[in-house]
Amino acid sequence: MDPSTVAAIFAISLAAYLLITDWVDLAPWNKVDDLPVRQKLLISLANYTPLLFVAVAVVVGGGVLVVLAVLVGIVDLAMHVAYWWLPYLRGTSAEQLTERQHLFGGTTTFLPAIGNHPIPNAQHVVVGILMTAMVAFTAVSAI
């Protein structure tokens, strides 16, 4: 299977995974039962649009589209790292700890605690793995 197809499969798989975990309460895997529909719609638009762009860009091909897909993937992955992994490794403010506890408290985690730093929940560890694979295969397809 060529890298473009694999990148598209990862992008669509990630979009499908997020669709389920953004809209279906699978507690303790996620915590979406108390989110307003308007917030879910905004999250969906922000999450699925870049992933669908990557999938279409790598399938359609073409130098500029694939390069843009790589850039979109890198930005999306950087935002994921900034929200989940930097606070886990470096810590965060008390305000952000409270926000995360409200949004993700009680969800499944398996990583070891680092002081009082927020631990990425398992749902978002899966997101990070799928996103990293998508970006890697998108980059390979651009070469």
Report the residue count for the chain: 143
Distance of alpha carbon 28 from its chain centroid, rounded?
18
Cα–Cα distance for residue pair 97/87, rounded to 1 Å: 9
The pLDDT-based confidence of 61 (bands split at 50, 70, 90) is confident
**pLDDT level of residue 76 (50, 70, 90 thresholds):** very high
Condensed to tens digits (0 to 9), the pLDDT of residues 100-134 reads 999 999 999 999 999 999 999 999 999 999 999 99
Per the structure, the count of domains in the chain is 1
Q: Give the side-chain half-sphere CA count within 13 A for 119.
A: 14
The confidence score (pLDDT) of residue 23 equals 96
Q: Which domain holds residue 67?
A: 3-142
The pLDDT value given to residue 139: 97
Amino acid at 132: T
- Entry pTM: 0.94
